[in-house]
Amino acid sequence: MNSSIKYQIPIIFIFCFITFVCIYSATAQSRHDSLLLELGKANHDTTKIKVLFKLGNLYIDGPSDSLLYYYNQALELIDRAYYKIDFSNKHNTKLITTYKNFRFRAILEIGIENFFQGNYNQSLENYHKALEIATEINDKELISEVYSALGIVYKNQGEYALALEYYEKALATAIELQDTSWIAACYANAGNVYRRLTNYTKALDYFLKALKVFEQKGETRRMAISYMNIGNLHEDQNDFKTALEYFSRALQLSYGTNDKKRISECLMNIGNIYSGEEEYDIARDYYRQSFAINEEMGFEHIIDDCYKYIGNTYEKEGNYEKAIENYNKSYNIAKKENDKLTTAEILGNLSNIYLQKNDYPKSLEYANKSLKISLETGDPQNIKNAYLYLSLVWECLDNYPKALEYYKSYAIFKDSIFSSEKYKSVKDLEMKYETEKKEDQLALLTEKNEVQLLRMSQRNRLFISVLIVVALIFIIGYILFRNRELKAKHKSVELEQRLLRSQMNPHFIFNSLIAIQSYIYKKDPVKAGDFLAKFADLVRMTLENSRVEFILFEKEINTLQVYLALQSIRFENKFTYSIEVDKNIDEDNLRIPPMFTQPFIENAIEHGLRHKPEAGFIKLYYVKSNNHILCTIEDNGVGREKAKELEKKKQHQSLAIDITKERLDILSKRYKQRFMLDITDLKNETGIPCGTKIVITVPYTG
């Protein structure tokens, strides 16, 4: 291998990728749970459909079966609701259009996943259904999207004429709509077909047009695809060094976006570079990494390429049995998918192997099959290879006229695919793009410098001196202000951490686990499971809510309900509780600081109700008053004075109350609004303590 080429992926990228995947997976699971909860609460079909779409989109990078599951559920719901609509009622026109759009999106996404799973016929069926809907509602943007999807399937099946037809239709519509991003995507798709037809100049022209738009818009995923396309083009012409540069750029971007489809393709392409440099063990390692990702995601149409390339390395090493084994696996998948391009290539490879094994009849059989399919698709690479194998077989069979005839055909296709002039035009085009890019940057810098010099010449020294003094004053002031802000932020973070520690205190956690253990010992798995599930929900919600300064009112209520339910079970229903909300409060939009009331509820239970011989109660009610929310916690416990006598150790709750007061002061200063706390000892008619009433006042922020 050329020692000047660095093939190894930096370990730091792999480490970052693993770290990113771990964080991404945890976030995705949390989002999945949240959406399932949202789905359960949805009252209308349209809302349920949107949530199912969101659930499906969580798996856009795999696994495919999960995405298909949610989109198929959405499609069933769409169909049921759609056919219940009264089409004769003119007022339902908008609703009908909405459901048609829903149906289009579901069918298209199902088609896309069928494509990635290698079910090309099913994918085409879905795309044509989607095209009918898009045409019916006359949405040109959707029509163009389906044209492009159809082009991709036909390209993978080797139907290049059909693929180009649909790509050009998609491009024409995109230009009509003046959608620059979509125009660029259409250029990239059409460029891939021109590359397969060995029209490298036009292919690169399209790739560079697409890349320029994606770079300007910062569309990282599509930039990665463009780099990979350009890398493939250079690989086709055996310029491995340039190809690897583009593949490495694409891989780095794909790791950053966790785009597993692209990661697997980049790994496969890098494996091809190693294979071209005769580093077969390393090449197979990259192919197997790609295989593992595609198997995990269920992308069967890429798995056949992995088998094909692994077989190719064994063929080059002379291990024909292993090569045939892997080629047959690839062939079976490609045949099932009706992937004529891969089918023809595998047949050609098998012809070459049997030629090396001196099994001329089999070699001739496979070469003829490969040539027949290749002529149908018009793929120059496979046609060229088939002619070469036929020429060599007939030469070995001493039929020199036929051998010469096929060799002439091979030479014609070889010259048409690669010529120094054609390659020079590709390099010239690429150089022109890079030069124009650098010239644009240089022109911009020059213009900025000229403007700067002109401005400087118009100012005298005194003005510059004054400006410097003002700047220094501003900088010093900013540094002081920033330092003060950082201290306040640090104090706020420290306060939030202290609040979280006080909320999930060791006593509560310990007592909860003891309660679970008790149920287990009593062989009551239902209660144990119920308690454990509620406890897990409370821990999760507490951790989530502690990360932000304000949360939705609905989430706060849910957290309190779970907490009160746990405490009620723990104390064997020694007290009852209720939560009442003023009807004037918009629960869906109101945001309040999290975890304000919990310390006082715990204080009421542990120090008030716990020592009360009879059953007690805790009542929470929220009232809107003059752009504020009054949150009241009331109990009928023994009162604060009696609790002090009964329990001398009360550090935890006192700490929580102090933290809450400090938090209220910080929020009042930060938002210039009133955050207040008022604690009242309740007494009966004879003056005996009969509970505590706490009122927290916070601004109404919708």
| Average pLDDT, integer, range 245-253 | 91
Q: What is the pLDDT of residues 275-285, one digit of tens each?
A: 988 899 999 99
What mean pLDDT do residues 596-604 have? Answer: 81
CATH number of the CATH domain containing 595: 3.30.565.10
- What b/e readout covers 360-396, taking b as 16+ CB neighbours within 10 angstroms? eeebbbbbbbbbebbeebebbbbbbbbbbbbbbbbee
Q: In this predicted structure, what is the pLDDT of residue 41?
A: 83
* Total domains present in the chain: 2
Q: How many CB atoms lie within 10 A of CB 212?
A: 16
Same domain, 549 and 436: no
439 and 493 both lie in a single domain = no
- pLDDT per position as a tens digit, 82-121: 888 887 787 888 888 888 899 998 999 898 888 877 788 8
Residue 699 to residues 406, 552, 588, 665, Cα–Cα distance (Å): 86, 14, 16, 13
Residues of the domain holding 608 = 487-699
Helices 120-136 and 93-116 cross at an angle (nearest 10°) of 160
Answer whether residue 247 is part of any domain: no
- Is a pLDDT exceeding 80 seen at residue 20? no
Kindly state whether residue 609 falls inside one of the protein's structural domains: yes
Compute the average pLDDT of residues 324-338.
Answer: 89
Whether residue 689 is contained in a domain is answered as yes
Residue 331 lies in a domain: no
- For strand 616-625 and strand 575-581, is the pairing parallel, antiparallel, or unpaired? parallel
Q: Is 60 exceeded by the pLDDT of residue 335?
A: yes
DSSP lists the bridge partners of residue 620 as: 579, 633
Regarding predicted confidence, which is higher, 526 or 457?
526
Higher pLDDT, 606 or 621: 621
Same domain, 650 and 515: yes
Domain assignment of residue 510, yes or no:
yes
Q: Quick one: 681 and 630 in the same domain?
A: yes
Confidence class for position 619, pLDDT limits 50, 70, 90: very high
Query: Are 451 and 548 in the same domain?
Result: no
What is the pLDDT averaged over residues 507-517?
65
Q: What pLDDT sits at residue 460?
A: 57
The better pLDDT of the pair 367, 412 is held by 367
For residue 534, is it within any domain? yes
User: Does 507 score more than 60 pLDDT?
Assistant: no
Residue 565 has pLDDT above 60, yes or no: yes
Residue 370 backbone dihedrals phi, psi, to 5 degrees: -65, -45
Q: What is the pLDDT of residues 348-403, one digit of tens each?
A: 999 999 999 999 999 999 999 999 988 887 777 888 898 999 999 898 988 888 88
Of 441, 458, 475, the domain-final residue = 458
- Residue 53 inside a domain? The answer is no
Q: Are 509 and 445 within one domain?
A: no
pLDDT digits (tens, 9 = 90+) for 461-504: 566 667 777 777 878 777 777 766 666 565 555 555 455 444 45
Could you tell me the pLDDT band of residue 25, with boundaries at 50, 70 and 90? Answer: low
**Domain co-membership, 520 together with 596:** yes
Same domain, yes or no: 695 and 550 = yes
Residue 261 maps to a domain: no
Report, as an integer, the average pLDDT of 205-225: 88
pLDDT over 70 (residue 214):
yes
629 and 497 co-located in one domain: yes
Average pLDDT, the chain: 79
Question: For the residues 452-469, what does the mean pLDDT come to?
Answer: 59
The gap from C-alpha 303 to its chain's centroid, in whole angstroms, comes to 22
Listed in sequence order, the residues at least 6 apart from 633 whose beta carbon sits closer than 8 Å to its beta carbon are: 597, 600, 601, 604, 618, 619, 620, 693, 694, 696
Report whether 272 contacts 306 (CB < 8 A): no
Confidence category of residue 18, pLDDT binned at 50, 70, 90: very low
Q: How far apart are CA 633 and CA 589, in angstroms?
A: 22
d(CA 382, CA 251): 28
Contact 616, 574 (CB under 8 A): yes
Q: Are residues 520 and 643 in the same domain?
A: yes
Spatial strand order of the sheet with 628-635 comes to 575-581, 616-625, 628-635, 689-699, 676-683
Is the pLDDT at 300 greater than 50, yes or no?
Answer: yes
pLDDT of 543 reads 76
* Shared domain check, 451 and 501: no
Q: Where are the alpha helices (DSSP H) in 590-639?
A: 598-603
* Claim to verify: residue 447 and residue 543 sit in the same structural domain: no
